[in-house]
Amino acid sequence: MATKGDPITGDIVFLLTDPDTKQSQVGTSDGLEPLPPEGVQLSPLGNVTEAPGYTVLTIGAAGAREEDLANFSVPTQNGAIVAAGLTRAFEGAPQRAYDQACDCIKDAETGQTWTADETNGLFVDAQGENLAQGWKVNVGLRNFADVVTDPLIAKYFFRTLVWNFAFAALTVAGTFALGLLVAIVLNHERLKGQRIYRSLLILPYAMPAFAMLLLWRDMFNTDFGLINRMFGTEVNWFGKPVTAMIAVLLVQLWMGYPYMFLVATGALQSIPGDLKEAASVDGAKPVYAFRTIIFPLLLVALAPLMIASFAFNFNNFNAIYMVSEGGPFPPDNPQIGATDLLITYTYRLAFGAQGAQYGFAAAVSVFIFLIVAVFSIIGFRRTRALEEVN
Amino acid sequence: MSELIPPSETSEPIPIRTGTVTAEDQKEAVVRLGSAKGGWWRQVGWRHLIAWVALFFGLFPILFLFSAAINPIGTLSTAQLIPNGASLENFSKLFDTTEYVNWYWNTMLIALVAGALSMFISACAAYAYSRFRFRGRRMGLLGLLLIQMFPQFLAIVTLYLMFTTITDYYPRIGFNTPWSLIILYLGGALGVNTWLMKGFLDTIPKDLDESARVDGATHAQIFFGIILPLITPILAVTGLLGFIGYVNEFLIANVFLTDPESKTLAVGLFGLVAGERNNNFGVFAAGAVLAAIPTVVLFQILQRFIVGGLTTGAVKG
């Protein structure tokens, strides 16, 4: 093992000696050439210790260039020569190669073959096992059909769909209820310190969400988490579906209510005082007046924001991925967990450890889009927001 | 339900107006007759109590973050709600062992440039949608809304392949550069912002533009000279929301930025606690506290615009 020139930056070359013939050769990234025997010193084991024009690397110097060595290989006719340790090298040939004659991949050692499967774009052996590598084929609408028909996928897909709706709806409802409550309570002209309360209450919304999501995840940690320590409990929050769902919903409530508080305050203040006065002059009790006059007006003002919030939370990737990562997972399907939203499920399909099912993931994405679009359109139609577009 | 609650416990008491006639004051006294009127507790005290409960719920995670950031041991298991010691150990570790300064700079660059540009693009689009009548206008508006609902990540595979090619030809806007993300974010910026701004623009009387046009102003003059100053509140809101959104963006940034020095705060800090949850917690908390400063400051400055901007746009659809 040596370099041409400077031991730190020079190109790496292999000075190789065949153990049988004792012939020395120089291996560069271009290939092998014979090493002229003049001035070459061999160690008793046959390693080249000195050669004119080359600097033989000491063990320390070679260790410093470990990374370059790992990437270095000498191409040969049958394969390539790579280093094995610091004083040895071996010639390897690719074990499996594509054979044009049978349109298959052959294993040179075992003789096993994987035949090309044109419908799936994979190489499949006799047992139906496929290699990880494949190519692109046209599958028509099969990915869409799989979503609806494959029993395992269908079972979990619809369960996930239900949870996805529940997650978005409960998040919007919860944040709206809490935000509105706080807004009503604070919206009183004789309440001192309103501005301070308001500035502090919107802090959760102003904090960077990704950091707070990760913080919440760690606060729910079973062994070290603040929640368990504060209440003296030992709940494995992300171990059971129900507690995991409660945890992610609680996090979303915390993340979302300051926003709802802000907009509810704005809407409350924009409702004319005359209306309230007129109601009280007519003898309406405050709660009744609120229910029949103020609340409907609030809804008119805030419904578009609530629909937008629903659509956002329906695909709230960070909220799940950073807190529960979709878990806990059922034993028969490690692909889709109890708190998975469709979008985190799709992300795992496309980029997860189980392989890149881009096509299937894209099909699921189209389903997600259709669902959200339909619900948003219905929602906007009902609030007549779209009909005001003029 | 209304019968169950005595009139004194009003959630919306009759507003007291200054300068009203005495007859009205008497009337109010009549309405409140028989109730325990005037108790500070009944009037505003309980409101303070609820506000304090809401404050606790809202602030305890933030307090915990602070305590963890100055916790000298710096692990999750030793972090308390109330700090039991103070040191800047975590901060110095953050700057020594990670590329935090680079992350911070990248994040600010991306969020500021993309936030400002998206604000401007949306304002231009909203002006066109609000003031001009052209074929496909309604479809365009609905289309913007629908495209916004398309799961962003679906595009990632395509974007990744596109940017692989771009990186080969012109690496300055390829992977591991802030510019690649800024370009991408601008593409997704139009939807909601345009709607919000259009709603706001619709409330500004058209007479203003028309009188300016009669006086010979061009579209550009009307837009920059008259419209932009009038829509400052909504500009502030969309700019702020855009800025916060870009600071928090994780999905695309995580795929595009892989070099340690090119990461954003979201990607970098996620990497800190992704594998090693307990030990890096203090360093992570320190990084999060510093990352929060710009958004919190912006929020407090622009607070008054947010309420007005969001609801005005919303009411007018």
A303-327 burial: b if 16+ Cβ within 10 Å, else e: bbbbbbbbbbbbbbbbbbbbbbbbb
- Is residue B88 helix, strand or coil? coil
Chain A residue numbers with beta carbons less than 8 Å from the beta carbon of B255 are 351
Q: What distances in angstroms separate CA A25 from CA A32, A37, A65, one per listed residue?
A: 7, 9, 22
Distance CA A54, CA A4 (A): 5
Domains of chain A: 2-92 (no CATH), 96-138 (no CATH), 146-388 (1.10.3720.10)
Tokens 């394969």 belong to A79
CB A325 within 8 A of CB A217: no
CA distance to partner chain B, nearest, from residue A117 (Å): 24
The C-alpha angle with vertex B189 and arms to B186 and B191, in degrees rounded to 5, equals 145
Interface test with B, best of A186, A226, A299, A344 (most B CBs within 10 A): A226
pLDDT tens track for A48-86: 777 777 777 766 666 667 667 667 777 776 667 777 666
Interface test with B, best of A143, A178, A182 (most B CBs within 10 A): A182
Q: Inspect the interface and report whether the beta carbons of A266 and B310 lie closer than 8 Å.
A: yes
Distance CA B46, CA B30 (A): 24
Distance CA A351, CA A342 (A): 14
Q: What is the DSSP letter of A332?
A: T
SS3 content of chain A, % helix, strand, coil (to 5): 50, 15, 35
B92–A contact, CB cutoff 8 A? no
pTM score, whole prediction: 0.70
Nearest residue of A to residue B77, measured between CA atoms:
A224
Domains of chain B: 2-31 (no CATH), 40-87 (no CATH), 96-315 (1.10.3720.10)
Least confident of A77-91, A97-111, B26-40, B248-262: B26-40
Say whether the ipTM exceeds 0.95. no
Distance CA B291, CA A209 (A): 11
Chain A residue numbers with beta carbons less than 8 Å from the beta carbon of B306 are 262, 266
> pLDDT grade, residue A249 (50/70/90)?
very high
pLDDT tens track for B76-86: 777 777 777 77
**Structural tokens at position A131:** 């290699």
CB B248 within 8 A of CB B307: no
Q: Inspect the interface and report whether the beta carbons of B61 and A254 lie closer than 8 Å.
A: yes
Average pLDDT over residues B69-94: 78
Distance CA A253, CA A178 (A): 8
Percentage above 90 pLDDT, chain B = 9
Q: Tell me, what's the pLDDT at A174?
A: 94
